[in-house]
Amino acid sequence: MKMFLAGQWIDKSARIEVRNPFDNSVIDTVPRADAGDVERALAAAVEGALAMRRLSGYERAQILRKAADLLGQRTEKLGRLISSEEGKVLAEGLAEVGRSRETLELSAEEAKRLTGEVLPLDGAPGGAGKLGFTLRVPCGVVAAITPFNFPLNLVCHKVGPALAAGNAVILKPASDTPLSALALVEILLEAGLPPTAISCLTGSGGTLGDAMCSDPRVRKISFTGSRDVGEHICRVAGLKKVTMELGSNSPIIVMNDADLNKVAEATAITGYANAGQVCISTQRVIALSGVYHDLIDALKPRVEAITAGNQLEPGTKMGPMIRETDAERVESWVNEAVAGGARLVAGGQRHGTLYQPTLVADVDPRMRISCQELFGPAVAMTRADSIEEAIRIANDTPYGLAAGIFTENIGWAMQFARQVDSGNLHINWGPQWRADLMPYGGLKESGFGKEGPKYAVAEMTELKTIVVHGV
């Protein structure tokens, strides 16, 4: 495919191969953008921001709604594209298209709701006879940098609200999965988006990132990806608004009164979907001593029933990891834990990018499969003797994106909700659950700022305060 830059589809001789992670076959190639392309994208985006400001909220909503419809009409094709470049099973690829459509529809609705408020200035000394109100205005140029694991919906979560709010966007999708993002750009243009309002640069983040993120013409950066890249972007960004959606090692706490069938079902779904490559995947299960062994017995057959293989074949429940180096990393962290005294309950084998769904018990929280972000299909089980100990273990991490608890006791559930330092908390389900309309984002080193179109629009706009004197 070509990339879309400054109002045109552009080709280049330097290209990046996009590969199917299951068999390493080349699906397509995309141009390898360079620093000169960033400059062209920035200049065009300044014009694009003016074009977007001239559109009414109604017109922006119409564009986004039409894009959502077009996306829905192309569900089959896009679902297969997502699965081919990312490696998730077809059912997950199709589900991602459905969610992306929802994200664009929500964004279209938000385009009509850019409200301010009337300020009660006469409540201030000397405020009588004045009228105050706020206006919400677009930031201007938004830089959106996205990861590989949801190559369409996480792009929609940035581009949808940015356009709804009246901004222009420079999009930099992950180099492993740029095709879904380019397909979205085609759809937005077909839906009537002014061409200068979006550029999609395909190329290495390491090469393009600093030029994009440090430029003063960019007012807002919205980044989803790993913690270390996020920290680097914050350092180079300077005086800008920044949203950071970073990683996690999300826990589930299982109390002695939990329904173990439900816990096992939720862990199998929330720990292994997309081969565990979800920022809110269940990575740690912290179970109270009274249910610890029974839970392992309930979980083992469910984990073993997740068949791993070619993501495009019906019947496959889990596809490959994105790169062989990532599968090797997961393998080595599991092996390291087992060598250190943990017990392999299920899985543990690797064939290229395919790492079998894996369950490891008796994990010391200091082991890397527990204390660092694994981002792969393995769940680490640790025993605790009280809710206080379970919460302490859950919080003993720099991350704080999502967590779950299973209990029928409202007191324990509320203790969890109040004391676990996490942006998203689930009672009687695992952490890997998200409705696209809800405020979503992390605490601690999992980031700051919220996504979900309503909340992202707030992050991608600025408030002006107006005071009319003598009225």
Q: Which residues are designated catalytic?
A: 245, 279
Least distance CB 195 / ligand NAP (angstroms): 23
Question: By CB under 6 A, is residue 373 in contact with ligand NAP?
Answer: yes
Question: By CB under 6 A, is residue 175 in contact with ligand NAP?
Answer: yes
Question: By CB under 6 A, is residue 148 in contact with ligand NAP?
Answer: yes
Question: By CB under 6 A, is residue 149 in contact with ligand NAP?
Answer: yes
Q: Please name the residue ranges forming H helices in 285-401.
A: 289-304, 324-339, 368-371, 387-395
Question: By CB under 6 A, is residue 30 in contact with ligand NAP?
Answer: no
Helices (H) and strands (E) counted in the chain, each on its own, are: 15, 22
Nearer to ligand NAP, 60 or 227 (CB): 227
Contact window for ligand NAP (CB under 6 A) among 90-98, 225-233, 260-268, 363-371: 225-233
Nearer to ligand NAP, 175 or 199 (CB): 175
Least distance CB 247 / ligand NAP (angstroms): 3
Burial class (CB in 10 A: 0-12, 13-18, 19+), 214: middle
Residue 236 near residue 159, CB atoms below 8 Å: no
Residue 144 near residue 201, CB atoms below 8 Å: no
Instruction: Give the SS3 label for residue 360.
Output: strand
Among 103, 180, 224, 432, which residue interacts with ligand NAP (rule: CB under 6 A)?
Answer: 224
Pairing status of strand 130-138 against strand 118-119: antiparallel
**Angle at the Cα of 419 from the Cα atoms of 415 and 421, rounded to 5 degrees:** 140
> Alpha-carbon distance 195 to 185, whole Å?
10
Question: By CB under 6 A, is residue 31 in contact with ligand NAP?
Answer: no
**Angle at the Cα of 26 from the Cα atoms of 373 and 348, rounded to 5 degrees:** 35
Nearer to ligand NAP, 62 or 372 (CB): 372
Type and span of the H or E element at 207: helix 205-214
Among 3, 30, 106, 229, which residue interacts with ligand NAP (rule: CB under 6 A)?
Answer: 229
Give, in order, the Cα–Cα distances in Å from 399 to each of 203, 313, 394, 425. 29, 35, 10, 13
Nearer to ligand NAP, 139 or 322 (CB): 322
Question: By CB under 6 A, is residue 284 in contact with ligand NAP?
Answer: no
**Angle at the Cα of 345 from the Cα atoms of 340 and 348, rounded to 5 degrees:** 75
Nearer to ligand NAP, 248 or 267 (CB): 248
Question: By CB under 6 A, is residue 191 in contact with ligand NAP?
Answer: no
> Alpha-carbon distance 120 to 251, whole Å?
45
Question: By CB under 6 A, is residue 209 in contact with ligand NAP?
Answer: yes
Least distance CB 124 / ligand NAP (angstroms): 40
Contact window for ligand NAP (CB under 6 A) among 57-65, 69-77, 220-228, 425-433: 220-228
> Alpha-carbon distance 4 to 320, whole Å?
29
Question: By CB under 6 A, is residue 403 in contact with ligand NAP?
Answer: no
Among 145, 337, 354, 420, which residue interacts with ligand NAP (rule: CB under 6 A)?
Answer: 145
**Residue 95: CB partners within 8 Å, gap ≥ 6?**
none
Question: By CB under 6 A, is residue 196 in contact with ligand NAP?
Answer: no
Least distance CB 141 / ligand NAP (angstroms): 16
Question: By CB under 6 A, is residue 399 in contact with ligand NAP?
Answer: no
The two structure tokens encoding residue 147: 């990861």
Type and span of the H or E element at 359: strand 358-361
> Alpha-carbon distance 320 to 274, whole Å?
8
Question: By CB under 6 A, is residue 226 in contact with ligand NAP?
Answer: yes
Question: By CB under 6 A, is residue 183 in contact with ligand NAP?
Answer: no
Give, in order, the Cα–Cα distances in Å from 342 to each of 281, 324, 369, 371, 400. 21, 24, 10, 14, 25
> Alpha-carbon distance 316 to 313, whole Å?
6
Pairing status of strand 141-145 against strand 402-406: unpaired
Least distance CB 451 / ligand NAP (angstroms): 7
Nearer to ligand NAP, 234 or 338 (CB): 234
Question: By CB under 6 A, is residue 274 in contact with ligand NAP?
Answer: no
Question: By CB under 6 A, is residue 174 in contact with ligand NAP?
Answer: yes
Question: By CB under 6 A, is residue 204 in contact with ligand NAP?
Answer: yes
Owner of token pair 């608004």:
241
Nearer to ligand NAP, 3 or 233 (CB): 233
Least distance CB 392 / ligand NAP (angstroms): 23
Instruction: Please report, in angstroms and rounded to a whole number, the separation of the first and last CA atoms in the chain.
Output: 58
Question: By CB under 6 A, is residue 233 in contact with ligand NAP?
Answer: yes
Among 122, 129, 206, 231, which residue interacts with ligand NAP (rule: CB under 6 A)?
Answer: 206
Number of residues that bind ligand NAP (CB under 6 A): 30
Task: Provide the binding-site residues for ligand NAP, judged by CB under 6 A.
Answer: 145-149, 154, 172-175, 204-206, 209, 224-226, 229, 232-233, 245-248, 279, 373, 375, 401, 442, 447
